[in-house]
Amino acid sequence: MITFEQKLPAGRPNLGRIVNSDDFRMEKEAHMKKILSFALLASLSGLTALGAEKTWTGRISDSMCGSDHTAMTKEHQKEGQVPGSTARSDKDRECTLACVKSGGKYVFVTGGKVYEIENQDLAGLQQHAGHSVKLTGEMDADGKSIKVSRVTMAAATDTQK
């Protein structure tokens, strides 16, 4: 253990503090622990916010079409899977169901973004395929997928926002 007196440049008062190298090391370690603890707390707070259950308004679609069913609807009409004379909302529904039947996955579209749905076996997905819905679930840490806990039809005022 080395003990030395702190030397300061001329003109600066020497506070007469004796510095022990072990004390300095322990003080530095304590400071680093505080920084690491704060960083860990901040990162965990962010993960908790992402993992919290939230409700969004959007549409249940499929991974083949994403947010636009125009091209695939024409393809399905040629194959006879979607009637040509139905309303657009019905075409979106029929297209979503046909794409999922062909190997696509259900997705959720909101705010121009397409999110994967982790639990593809959720009963409400097929029921609400192509519909405007309120979807409740937890966003994954990657921000690309949602584990859905509930899907309900969106009110008419929700879909006009």
Q: Give the lowest-confidence range in 8-12, 72-76, 129-133, 149-153.
A: 8-12
Domain locations in the chain? 3-49, 52-159
Instruction: Quickly name the fold that domain 52-159 has.
Output: OB fold (Dihydrolipoamide Acetyltransferase, E2P) (2.40.50)
Using a 10 angstrom Cβ sphere, with 0-12 exposed, 13-18 middle and 19 or more buried, the burial of residue 70 is exposed
Verdict on whether the full-model pTM lies above 0.85: no
SS3 10: coil
For 18-27, 34-43, 118-127, which range has the lowest pLDDT when averaged over its residues?
A: 18-27
Q: What's the token pair of residue 150?
A: 């509930």
Residues pairing with 139 in the sheet: 146
Q: What is the pLDDT of residue 1?
A: 47
Q: In the prediction, which pLDDT does 77 show?
A: 65
If you count them, how many residues does the chain have? 161
